[in-house]
Amino acid sequence: MFGNTKSTSSSHVSDDKNKFLLEKKMARQKREWKAMEMNAVIKIQKHVRGFLTRCQFLSKIRNNLDVAISYKDEQIDYTPVLQPASAVFPSAKRFLIFFTKDQRVTKRFECLCKYILHSLNSAVIQENYMSMLLNKSLSASWIEHIKQLLVCCTQFTQLKPENSADMKTINTLLTVLISFTSTTNWRILTGKSGDVLRPAMNQLCTNFLSHVKEKSFFQSMEGLLISGLVKPKPCFKAATFSAICTLLLRMYNAGSLQTNDVVRELLLHVLSVPSLVYHMETLCNEMYIKFLSERIFTRCLSFLSSHNAIQAIAITLEGNRTLSLLANLLQLGLAEKEGVVDNLVQFNNVMNKLLQLCGQFMAGRSKTSKSHWHPILGWSNQPLDHNEAIPFITKQLQLLWDPKTISILFCELNEFSMSLSDEEARKSAGQKKKKGDKKNVMLKLDSSVILSTCTACSMYLSAKSVLVHIQAEILSGLAFHPTLLKQLWILISHLGSSSGRVKVILDALTNQMSESFESYTNSLTSVLALFCDAAVMLFMILDDVEMYEDQKPFSLDDLIGLSDMLNQLVFKIIYYDVIDWKHADTDPLFNAAHSLLQLLHERDSRRSFAPPNHWIIKDIKPAQFISSIDKGNTTAQFLLQKMPQIIAHKDRVILFRKLVMSEKESLGLTAAARTISNVTYVTISRRRLLEDGYSQLAGISAHALKGVIRVKFVNYQGLDEAGIDQDGVFKEFLEETVKRVFDPALNLFRVTDEQKLYPSPISSLQDNHLKLFEFVGRILGKALYEGIVIDVPFAPFFLTQVLNNMKNSMYSYLDELPSLDPALYKNLSYVKHYDGDIEDLDLTFSYDEDFMGQLKNYELKPGGRAISVTNENRISYVHYMARFKMRTQIKEQTQAFIRGFSSIVNYDWLRMFSTPEAQKLISGDTVEIDLSDLRRHTQYFGGFHNNHRVIIWLWDILEKDFSETERSQFLKFITSCSKPPLLGFAQLDPPFSIRCVEVADDQDTGDTIGSILKGFFNIRKNEPAGRLPTSSTCFNLLKLPNYSKKRILKDKLRYSILNNTGFELS
């Protein structure tokens, strides 16, 4: 019991101890907090007292200044009351000591500046603020004071030029800077004593400029210029802008400052201000002229031509401001002109480098999550700043392709061309050659004309590549320059013969690739690339009259030489692996040369200017080339895709048929692999041929349509026609379907004045017209797939759209408009060549057309009704109108036709053929009928044979008595097509056949032993002179009675084919 009592007592003692310690700890913490509070109060009081003291001190300084310059706070209109300068100077000096660099310019500081400016005009020497300079004891202090004043006057950051009050402040500050950086208006220097002091004072002004420069003068001017100029409408008036320009020129001209450092600052902070030079010319032309007279551009060009100077500046500026610098230098240089002409290669190289550096900030052709849209550069890695200046920058950049600029940059090329023209004139006049004249002028690759032309072309290529959204304007300016393209071609043509030129360019390209050049700088390849790009633009605009008749700017001989060179060059670039075919599509030279080559080939295909076989590469052996394609040679496949014209049309047709057969084999559609599942059976009523064909074939798969189609006809009496379709009946079905579908009365298709077919713009009057067009496309594709020749003459503009699926951006609708609407073409040509102001014609980008008795208005482009046609946009109007008539109006019909056609025929195969070649593929060749070939591949039935008397007469009549037109009608009478197959009559399926018949078609039961013997031995029951020859076009079969006389055969045959009697008159 006693033990428990002791334990309890000990526990109480411990608790009391802990409680005591805790109380002491809390008391100690409380004392510490109180001490901290007291210290905090003391510090706060210290800072407050300090702040209040400083405020009182600054207030005293301000009050002293206010008294000295007679300034009252919040005074609206301040009028200085001059005091002795010695009384003002101490107060002003103390005031500026506490005027920090980042402090906003106050009203008091502005009034101080006004006071000082007012005092400078005082004739009383004691009141003139400059008088302090004459006081030896105060002059040093006064100089430091003025330096500080001038630095404070460059604080424009928080001033807004669009605010009238701030603009007044800006003008005051600029006037102070102007006044103390030149002795021109210093009244204390008047008189003889002033002349003595002037040199020292001029040096003082230079010192002031040097000090201000070190205190971020150029950065301050940059901010002020941007805030005042980079607006939809600049805020500066002429006086303000003149003051800024004056200060800049003083800084530039200060003797000790005219170093590369000043030029660098000028480029970084002044000439990089968006549209600066443009506004200088328009707002302050006097200063613009002074800038030109100082040859600032020439100095900048020299600096930028030094090693790595451009890269350093462009990295500091980045893309948007680099573009502004380029635009300002461009305008300044072209205005100065002498600086460009005297340093042509330097100018081109500097512009080129600046353009390439701008290109480094481009984000590519497509938008990414980090890209920003730039109206000139496209997608950029930088956000667009100062977008208000874009219209002005664009105007500056337009100088790049101004005719005067082009003439300056290619002046040496012009002199070279003119010298050749003079030589040709002397030769044509029969003058003797001057000493030193050469028979053929061959340019050396290191000649000055080559170098200057290469650098200019390289610069324009960079501009085209970087300034993506004004690329078309650049190329248009180059293309339509009166002499440039012709002179570039003269230069290229004087590199050697056609093969010699190709070798020179290939060597240049090879060296370039091996040295891993980043661009086409200073290489002959840049000349050819730019020439091709601009020529493509030109040929897209030239109409046939300009190209073939006027022959401007190129003669037809020029076109022959140019196309031959390009054909060889593009082929050898790929064939000899100068450029890997995998990268060819991204190579500027290959793309440019290939585009021009294909454009020239298309023009030649439509209207020939080149001799026969001009496009065929003679180094190629067609059989080996096609074999290499079959074996999967990717180079050969690429060449065939890009320039199929290098092998003959016949060889491409053979390849086409091989490709079709190869696909049939892979799909199991050949005769050997044919199964019942690959055969589609259809029943067609002759009364509803088109409707039944559409209902039964439009819905089947493309695979099934590529297979065998067996047709059973139901005659007009509703009875099944006898006979089994062995492809002949299907051929008849195709022919009859085509006749009905392409009949203009159905209103799916129309015909041009030349009887060429194209989709009707008002086909929508037919129900399901687009599905019908798709069906027609499938039927035509099936005919082409099976090699069945159908006499359907398509309008070239429509077939071009079908073949290219509008992927060819170089196609010009205007070229083929005469075939559709000659009257419209004549009117558009009048607009294109109109000499006066086109606005007098009161045209807009819209078109009125009568539709079912109602006048409908179509806009050629969005908002076209409100866009007037002007001299500047009339070329665009002409092409928009042609596009509307030949593309827009039939766009849906064409796309539906293409869907059906391409579901059967692989479009990659069709790229091998031009539009005229594809028409031959569909309708047969346009050459004369080869009767010997036809005779070799003719089969005979019913007793006829090759040496039968009637057969001998027949071939003799066709050869000697029939004209070529009659022979074509004979072929059409039997095969339904007037043109021979492209690969000869061996490819005709079914084969061409002649059968001896004795009875009418309705009594004909086919060949029997008796009928064959009678035909063979010329045994006749009756003279068949009253009967006519007939045909079965589905089997390519001529049914010929066994006539007794050659004259009867000739007359009957001629009557039949001229009247196309067929079955009905037999």
Consecutive H or E run containing 737: helix 728-741
Residue 850, φ and ψ in degrees, nearest 5: -80, 120
Q: Could you give the angle at the alpha carbon of 162 between the alpha carbons of 157 and 165, nearest 5°?
A: 80
Q: DSSP 3-state assignment of 310? A: helix
Task: Report d(CA 334, CA 297) in Å as an integer.
Answer: 9
Task: Report d(CA 554, CA 542) in Å as an integer.
Answer: 11
Dihedral sign from CA coordinates of 1050, 1052, 1054, 1060: negative
Q: DSSP 3-state assignment of 888? A: helix
Task: Report d(CA 610, CA 600) in Å as an integer.
Answer: 10
Task: Report d(CA 476, CA 872) in Å as an integer.
Answer: 12
User: By the 8 A CB rule, do 810 and 879 touch?
Assistant: no
How far apart, in Å, are the Cα atoms of 43 and each of 32, 49, 621, 894?
A: 17, 10, 100, 88
DSSP designation for 844:
B
Residue 566, φ and ψ in degrees, nearest 5: -65, -40
Q: Of 113, 235, 284, 1034, which one is the catalytic site residue?
A: 1034
Question: Tokens for 120?
Answer: 């400078």
Which segments of 675-720 does DSSP mark as H helices, in order? 689-697, 702-706
Residue 975, φ and ψ in degrees, nearest 5: -110, -5
Task: Report d(CA 712, CA 698) in Å as an integer.
Answer: 17
Helices (H) and strands (E) in the chain, counts: 45, 12
User: What amino acid occupies position 14?
Assistant: S
Check if 358 is active-site. Answer: no
How far apart, in Å, are the Cα atoms of 1006 and each of 418, 1010, 1039?
A: 80, 11, 11
Q: Could you give the angle at the alpha carbon of 647 between the alpha carbons of 644 and 651, nearest 5°?
A: 105
Task: Report d(CA 907, CA 898) in Å as an integer.
Answer: 10
Burial class from Cβ neighbours inside 10 Å (0-12, 13-18, 19+) for residue 552 reads exposed
Consecutive H or E run containing 584: none
Report which of 761, 753, 794 is spatially closest to residue 888, judged by C-alpha positions.
761
Task: Report d(CA 322, CA 618) in Å as an integer.
Answer: 50
User: By the 8 A CB rule, do 361 and 318 touch?
Assistant: yes
User: By the 8 A CB rule, do 200 and 134 touch?
Assistant: no
**b/e burial code for range 125-160 (CB count within 10 A of at least 16 → b):** eebbbbbbbeeeebeeebbebbbbbbbbbbbbeebe
How far apart, in Å, are the Cα atoms of 726 and each of 462, 592, 671, 703, 854?
A: 63, 51, 12, 20, 51
Which distant-in-sequence residues (6+ apart) come within 8 Å of 3 by Cβ?
none
Residues designated catalytic: 1034
